[in-house]
Amino acid sequence: MNGNVIIKNASQLVTCSGFKAKQGKEMSDLHVVEDGTVVIEEGIIKAVGKTEDVLTGFDKADVYARGFDIIDAAGKAVLPGFVDSHTHFVFAGYRAEEFSWRLRGDSYMDIMKRGGGIFNTVKATRAANKEELIETGANRLDSMVSFGVTTVEGKSGYGLDHSTEIKQLEVMKELNNRHPVDIVPTFLGAHAVPGDYKGREDAYIDYLIERVMPEVADRDLAKFCDVFCEKNVFSVQQSRRLLLKAKENGLKIKIHADEIEQLGGAELAAEIGAVSADHLLQASDKGIIDIAEAGVVATLLPGTAFCLKEPCAKGRYMIDMNCAVALATDLNPGSCFSESIPLIFALATLYMNISIEEAITALTINGASALDRAGTIGSLDVGKIGDVIILEYPSYKFIPYHIAISTVEKVIKKGELIFDREK
């Protein structure tokens, strides 16, 4: 392919049409076109609609002269590529032993307190060289593509020092150049408090602001800054200071908010204009209303709650309160070692009382909004990047119905076929 492709005769063309986050009831409107066609030229969507209407202006000679590939999607549903808007996919080492500890009842925070958890991964990631991280990162991206992911967010945060935080972000930049999946990098130096700063959390925030953040910003290594705002990690006050300084440095902001304790992270996200507030398992009703009114995307991570055997975030309530909800995998080596989009669909629909339509919105246009990219990806609209997935089934309703199994047959990125299960 050369970025020119016509996908025609789709039983359902699920456009998810829109250029900003969908809130509340809007999340149910997928703008489905029966017997639909999408035309992508030089990687950009040029036409979307009913097959008969779209193809009227194309004769066969013109199509072949302009180098279009033709994909007949008869009997298949076609959707925008999925956007996984919260992951930690660049890391070294694994924590299978800790999974067994959790099975016997040890909590995530207890494991962290005795030097496991994030600190275990920090040790391995510090020791890994860039090529090792690039190789494992590329393999994980390949797996994500098989689930229909065309854009992914990746966080640093397994360095907790200058050199490794920069190394992780450099790896993501290199992978973005090498791999077809678009990577949106996030600086998460405030993922935990390193041992040499224990009890001196304010000094560590100073270190990140003065020593690490300037290079991240100057070299354009990240688009976002994030912080783990949590009891015994970083307070609301410390998180506010770091994130406001990040905004001064030209970074957009995200926040790990109210995951384990109700600390006020959601309220902080609304106060300082975060693009997204993530996790939110313990968010207060006020925090939920605040982020809805402020237009902050609520990025929910049901896979993590599932793996930690915790109740999921109140997704149904958030949507009813007019939030814009996104869903993401939170792929990481500790609390959710999974990049499975089908698992996220199953958990969201079965255990969070989110409808199939809302879940699709949450993993397309709202996922794009959580990365501040709703203007260019996340829907099948004219002028957007041609990121498309083709299912093996005729309806989008098969996505959660085929429990925990990927229904994605083909993935097209910028008009190029990058995954085909039939080959």
Give residue-wise pLDDT tens across range 381-421: 999 999 999 999 999 999 999 999 999 999 999 999 999 99
Percentage of the residues of the chain whose pLDDT score is greater than 90? 90
Enter the CATH code of domain 5-80+378-420. 2.30.40.10
Structure confidence at residue 93 as a pLDDT band (50, 70, 90): very high
**Which pair of tokens denotes residue 26?**
């809007």
pLDDT in tens, 275-298: 999 999 999 999 999 999 999 999
For the domain made up of 83-370, give the CATH fold. Answer: TIM Barrel (3.20.20)
pLDDT at 104: 85
Per the listing, tokens 């029966």 go with 34
Q: In whole angstroms, how large is the CA radius of gyration of the chain? A: 21
What one-letter code names the amino acid at 98?
A: E
| 96 pLDDT higher than 90 | no
Q: Which residues pair with 190 in a beta bridge?
A: 227
Percentage of the residues of the chain whose pLDDT score is greater than 70? 98
Structure confidence at residue 2 as a pLDDT band (50, 70, 90): confident
| 125 pLDDT higher than 90 | yes
Rounded distance, CA 112 to CA 328, Å?
23
pLDDT in tens, 367-380: 999 999 999 999 99
H helix and E strand count, the chain: 18, 16
pLDDT at 89: 98
pLDDT at 237: 98
pLDDT at 65: 61
pLDDT in tens, 192-248: 999 999 999 999 999 999 999 999 999 999 999 999 999 999 999 999 999 999 999
| 61 pLDDT higher than 70 | no
Structure confidence at residue 101 as a pLDDT band (50, 70, 90): confident
DSSP 313: P
Instruction: Locate the domains of the chain by residue range.
Output: 5-80+378-420, 83-370
| 60 pLDDT higher than 80 | no
| 182 pLDDT higher than 70 | yes
Element housing 71 (H / E): strand 69-72
Find out whether 272 and 244 touch, Cβ atoms under 8 Å. Answer: yes
Distances (CA, A) of 254 to 46, 226, 258, 294, 359: 33, 5, 13, 14, 21
Collect all residues with Cβ–Cβ distance below 8 Å to 390 and sequence separation of at least 6.
Answer: 7, 10, 71, 73, 76, 77, 78, 408, 409, 410, 411, 412
pLDDT in tens, 348-368: 999 999 999 999 999 999 999
Structure confidence at residue 112 as a pLDDT band (50, 70, 90): confident
b/e 133-164 (16+ beta carbons within 10 angstroms → b): bbebbbebbeebbebbbbbbbbbbbbbbbeeb
pLDDT at 1: 63
pLDDT in tens, 282-340: 999 999 999 999 999 999 999 999 999 999 999 999 999 999 999 999 999 999 999 99
Tell me how far the alpha carbon of residue 84 is from its chain's centroid: 2
Kindly give the pairing relationship between strand 69-72 and strand 44-50: unpaired
